[in-house]
Amino acid sequence: MNQQATACILCNQNCGILIEQDEKGHYKKIIGDKEHPVSEGYICQKATRLDYYQHQKRLTSPLRRKASGEYEEISWDTAIKEIAEKLVQIRDTYGGHSIAYAGGGGQGNHFGGVYASALRTACQTPYIYAALAQEKTGNFWVNGFLFGRQNTNYCEPVAEAEYVMVLGANPVQAHGFPQARSAINEVSRNPNKTLVVVDIRRSETAKKADIFLQVKPGKDAYLLAALLAYIVQNGLENQDFIALRTLGYEKIKPHFANIPIADYARISGVSIDLIAQVAKGISEAKTFALRSDLGIEQSHNSTLNAYLARLLFLITGHFGREGTNCLHTALFPLVGHSKEPKKGGVTTMVTKMQGIGKLFPPNILPLEINTDHPDRIRALIVDSANPVTNYANTQAQRRAIEKLELSVVVDVAMTETARAAQYVLPAQSQFEKMEATFFNLEFPDNFFHLRHPVSKPLGDSLDEPEIYHRLVTAMGELPSSFPILAQIAKLDRRFPKAKLLPLALGITTFFRPKWKQYQLLILKETLGKALPYPHAKVAAFIWVAAHRYVQKYSKQVKRLGFKESGYALGEALFKRILHSKSGTLISKHTYEESWELIRHKDKKVHLEIPLMLMWLDDLPARALATEAHEKEFPFNLQAGERRTYNANAAIRNPEWRKNDMAGALKIHPEDAKQYEIENGEIIRCISSTGSINIKTWITEDIPQGILSMPHGYGFQYPGHSEETTGAIVNLLTDHQECDPLAKTPYHKNVRVKIEKLVPA
């Protein structure tokens, strides 16, 4: 049977899969791809349902909104011309800062974001709003101080460690590291290993824990501070490691030396005995690895949590060794590095928010648009994102999009955001074009998976790089083709050693300096067209990335058995990536080499971050501040839980779910009893921002006073009503409820009340 290799696009693991199609092109069988270097055949239940992504109701033609609010089909030429004219007009009237870009890739597609850099250049805007800046930017900011750059990131080797802490994450449902369920099961069953889970509820992962620390919602900072204080006050630090590998320990130590552990334990809800047990466990373990995610990121003290969590493995010496968290390489880094504002870093025009990792947070988007400020955002291009349902505060996000002078959505489906926009452009699905993600976060062996298309493009859809190229061309920045360079590129592919194309490109951009900033698009139309696959134009970027990678890591690339060196090694790595349809390893490091990835010149971890230490010192005061609205809104809602059948906004047809179709609200039996609610009853859930109707799920897995509902529900779909699509979680969230520094939302701490529905 014909099996085609690609990857699952439903979470950032992007497990390798093999798809078998029927004669109508439906994905009738999907299995794990054993050839994939990281997932090795592993998949979860979601991947087998990918036909619902490929064959959901799709966009087939560019659309323009009429005055009546309806959409009409228009040609690509019309769409591109009108959008380009408007972009030029807004740029030239108000300045490039009044144009912004949102999205740039979901869980499986990052080429759109990469090639959109050309459009952003043409628009003269630095503003990228992205989902990563509603979860990970606090981490990036902290990494910037500790390791020297905001785009240093570490891997989480759960399967290899003797002592594992899962902190605010539920890998059994959400994954987040390779072959997550198998790894968690192994740690859980192995008598020589210890699995510690920190969660507010007995999650699917917590049920497998050897030690379960049931923290109160949003109180992780107190728990982490207490753990660190116990270590410091009992001399459990790893002094040798601290002396050899770090700077500034003497500056941070006093901040932990006086923490009243018992008080912090009480505030966190975890007993002092358990805190002592885990603190000792970590410091005595041979290897310790930490896995953390949204439970501490989309929650109170988010950025401080990121700092304290890292200190936990740093002061105990569990870093940069086998079985511990280690910095890793990237074929191309997922994010960049933003300077601090006082050193000249870019800030936004209205709220003066700093960029982190070159990204800006979705939470401030309504504030930057929905205002009379002369420098507000007036044009927004949204690609592979659904801000109206996915960013905090659905109502505010929708109002903002509606206020724009130009709004463009590039998507595969008619989303809620598309319905608020002026132009909607149909993208090819992730199985119809060459694609890749940059979620390649492994160490010591890192990998890359360039996916080849497995299905034919639908209707008039285009791939995003082509859309951006056409827009840049129509804006008058660049010709649409480069015939001479394209001829040279063909020769270059026959004799790559001669470096004909790099030479020709160098000469061309010498005479046309403006083209220099569009080299990627030029490469796509020249080198890209000369590649041996008709769909591989976008791989031009991988050619650049592969050459850069071998410039940095030639020794580590060669360990894969390559005989070539220098430029030829770059060519060889590029070819291997291009032809390895199941993905391939790209480098092999030694553990000692992970220390070279630190970007401080001294290759040490700089432990002191003054702002974080001030925040730490302020924790007692913060604990006293009871929130006034807690009385009116007695429940803490976790607004966004990963479950068996949600995958952000990737699949709109609710029929893809085998269970929990409408995404029920979990509630403790005692709370249900108090409100006289039956299991499965539809109730009203109300926050200070909005309200939804939602089905209940009575379960002891959730403590009293806490409710939990999934995100990724409530999408309009033909033939379905709210009863089967479920509710949009962000109708309840507030974009102003967020971390003071990174502006990451408090989705895990949404105050709500519930009411029985009065029968009509």
- Decide whether 402 or 596 has the Cβ nearer to ligand MGD: 402
Which residues within the stretch 181-240 sit at the binding site for ligand MGD (CB under 6 A)? 198-201, 203, 215, 217-218, 220
Pull the structure tokens for residue 640.
């966004």
**113 CA to centre of own chain:** 13
Q: Is 427 in the site for ligand MGD (CB under 6 A)?
A: yes
Instruction: For tokens 């990335």, name the residue.
Output: 545
First to last CA, the chain: 55
Binding segment for ligand SF4 (CB under 6 A), chosen from 10-18, 225-233, 301-309, 470-478, is 10-18
Q: Is 30 in the site for ligand SF4 (CB under 6 A)?
A: no
Pull the structure tokens for residue 426.
């149909």
Structure letter (DSSP) for residue 12: T
Instruction: For tokens 């995003």, name the residue.
Output: 464
Residue 15 interface partner, choices ligand SF4, ligand MGD, none, CB cut-off 5-8 Å depending on type = ligand SF4
Strand, helix or coil at 171? helix
Q: How far is the CB of 750 from ligand SF4 (least distance, A)?
A: 25
Q: Which among 234, 233, 283 is positioned nearest to 257, based on CA atoms?
A: 233
- Name the residue number minimizing CB distance to ligand MGD: 640
Residue 527 interface partner, choices ligand SF4, ligand MGD, none, CB cut-off 5-8 Å depending on type = none
Q: Is 429 in the site for ligand MGD (CB under 6 A)?
A: yes
Q: How far is the CB of 658 from ligand SF4 (least distance, A)?
A: 14
Which residues within the stretch 10-39 sit at the binding site for ligand MGD (CB under 6 A)? 11
Identify the residue among 14, 21, 430, 473 touching ligand SF4 (CB under 6 A).
Answer: 14
Q: How far is the CB of 175 from ligand SF4 (least distance, A)?
A: 4
Which residues within the stretch 633-662 sit at the binding site for ligand MGD (CB under 6 A)? 638-643, 646-650
Residue 733 interface partner, choices ligand SF4, ligand MGD, none, CB cut-off 5-8 Å depending on type = ligand MGD
Strand, helix or coil at 63? strand
Q: How far is the CB of 642 from ligand MGD (least distance, A)?
A: 4
List of residues 6+ apart from 420 with CB closer than 8 A: 388, 398, 401, 402, 407
Which residues within the stretch 374-393 sit at the binding site for ligand MGD (CB under 6 A)? 383-386, 390
**Do 61 and 77 meet the contact criterion of CB atoms below 8 Å apart?**
no
Neighbours of 510 (CB within 10 A): 10
**Do 651 and 52 meet the contact criterion of CB atoms below 8 Å apart?**
yes
Pull the structure tokens for residue 738.
């967020």
Q: Is 46 in the site for ligand SF4 (CB under 6 A)?
A: yes
- Decide whether 501 or 732 has the Cβ nearer to ligand MGD: 732
Identify the residue among 4, 5, 8, 146 touching ligand SF4 (CB under 6 A).
Answer: 8
Instruction: For tokens 């054993």, name the residue.
Output: 34
**Do 220 and 295 meet the contact criterion of CB atoms below 8 Å apart?**
yes
Q: Is 175 in the site for ligand SF4 (CB under 6 A)?
A: yes
Pull the structure tokens for residue 578.
């291009």
Q: Is 103 in the site for ligand MGD (CB under 6 A)?
A: yes
Neighbours of 340 (CB within 10 A): 13
Classify residue 759 as exposed, middle or buried by CB count within 10 Å of its CB (0-12, 13-18, 19+): exposed
Strands, E, within 300-419: which ranges?
326-327, 379-383, 406-411
Strands, E, within 484-601: which ranges?
584-588
Instruction: For tokens 């390791």, name the residue.
Output: 147
- Decide whether 430 or 437 has the Cβ nearer to ligand MGD: 430
Taking the C-alpha atoms of residue 32 and residue 17, their distance in angstroms, rounded to an integer, is: 4
Helices 261-268 and 272-284 cross at an angle (nearest 10°) of 110
Residue 8 interface partner, choices ligand MGD, ligand SF4, none, CB cut-off 5-8 Å depending on type = ligand SF4
Q: Is 357 in the site for ligand MGD (CB under 6 A)?
A: no
Residue 530 interface partner, choices ligand SF4, ligand MGD, none, CB cut-off 5-8 Å depending on type = none
- Decide whether 151 or 415 has the Cβ nearer to ligand MGD: 415
Q: What sections of 580-681 are H helices per DSSP? A: 610-617, 619-624, 669-674
Identify the residue among 18, 43, 367, 702 touching ligand SF4 (CB under 6 A).
Answer: 43
Identify the residue among 156, 293, 442, 525 touching ligand MGD (CB under 6 A).
Answer: 293
Binding segment for ligand MGD (CB under 6 A), chosen from 101-109, 547-555, 564-572, 585-593, is 101-109
Q: Is 19 in the site for ligand SF4 (CB under 6 A)?
A: no
Identify the residue among 5, 6, 11, 279 touching ligand SF4 (CB under 6 A).
Answer: 11
**Do 335 and 140 meet the contact criterion of CB atoms below 8 Å apart?**
yes
- Decide whether 226 or 412 has the Cβ nearer to ligand MGD: 412
Look at strands 16-21 and 27-32 and give their pairing: antiparallel
**What is the chain's Cα-based Rg?**
26
Pull the structure tokens for residue 473.
């061309």
Residue 126 interface partner, choices ligand MGD, ligand SF4, none, CB cut-off 5-8 Å depending on type = none
Q: How far is the CB of 31 from ligand SF4 (least distance, A)?
A: 11
Q: Is 10 in the site for ligand SF4 (CB under 6 A)?
A: yes
Buried b (16+ CB within 10 A) or exposed e, 14-42: bbbbbbebeeeeebeebebbebbbbbeeb
Q: Is 173 in the site for ligand MGD (CB under 6 A)?
A: yes
Binding segment for ligand SF4 (CB under 6 A), chosen from 40-48, 126-134, 205-213, 224-232, is 40-48
Could you give the C-alpha distances from 450 to 27, 350, 437, 557, 578, in angstroms and in order?
20, 39, 8, 17, 7
**Do 414 and 59 meet the contact criterion of CB atoms below 8 Å apart?**
yes
Q: How far is the CB of 177 from ligand SF4 (least distance, A)?
A: 10
Strand, helix or coil at 562? coil
**Do 150 and 203 meet the contact criterion of CB atoms below 8 Å apart?**
no
Residue 429 interface partner, choices ligand MGD, ligand SF4, none, CB cut-off 5-8 Å depending on type = ligand MGD
Binding segment for ligand MGD (CB under 6 A), chosen from 67-75, 166-174, 587-595, 609-617, is 166-174
Q: Is 451 in the site for ligand SF4 (CB under 6 A)?
A: no
Identify the residue among 695, 711, 743, 753 touching ligand MGD (CB under 6 A).
Answer: 711
Q: How far is the CB of 38 from ligand SF4 (least distance, A)?
A: 10
Classify residue 561 as exposed, middle or buried by CB count within 10 Å of its CB (0-12, 13-18, 19+): exposed
Residue 14 interface partner, choices ligand MGD, ligand SF4, none, CB cut-off 5-8 Å depending on type = ligand SF4
Q: How far is the CB of 372 from ligand MGD (least distance, A)?
A: 27
Could you give the C-alpha distances from 195 to 30, 205, 313, 544, 642, in angstroms and in order?
32, 9, 15, 42, 20
- Decide whether 157 or 176 has the Cβ nearer to ligand MGD: 176
Q: Which among 347, 331, 339 is positioned nearest to 445, based on CA atoms?
A: 331
Binding segment for ligand SF4 (CB under 6 A), chosen from 38-46, 138-146, 188-196, 241-249, is 38-46
Residue 730 interface partner, choices ligand MGD, ligand SF4, none, CB cut-off 5-8 Å depending on type = ligand MGD
**30 CA to centre of own chain:** 25
Pull the structure tokens for residue 737.
């409820």
Identify the residue among 4, 5, 6, 13 touching ligand SF4 (CB under 6 A).
Answer: 13
Taking the C-alpha atoms of residue 95 and residue 387, their distance in angstroms, rounded to an integer, is: 24
Q: Is 109 in the site for ligand MGD (CB under 6 A)?
A: yes
Pull the structure tokens for residue 509.
């951009």
**Do 109 and 437 meet the contact criterion of CB atoms below 8 Å apart?**
yes
Residue 390 interface partner, choices ligand MGD, ligand SF4, none, CB cut-off 5-8 Å depending on type = ligand MGD
Binding site for ligand MGD (CB under 6 A): 11, 103, 106-107, 109, 112, 131, 135, 167-170, 173-176, 198-201, 203, 215, 217-218, 220, 293-296, 299, 383-386, 390, 410-413, 415, 427, 429-430, 464, 638-643, 646-650, 711-712, 729-730, 733, 747-748
Q: Name the residues that contact ligand SF4, by CB under 6 A.
A: 8, 10-11, 13-15, 43-44, 46-47, 175
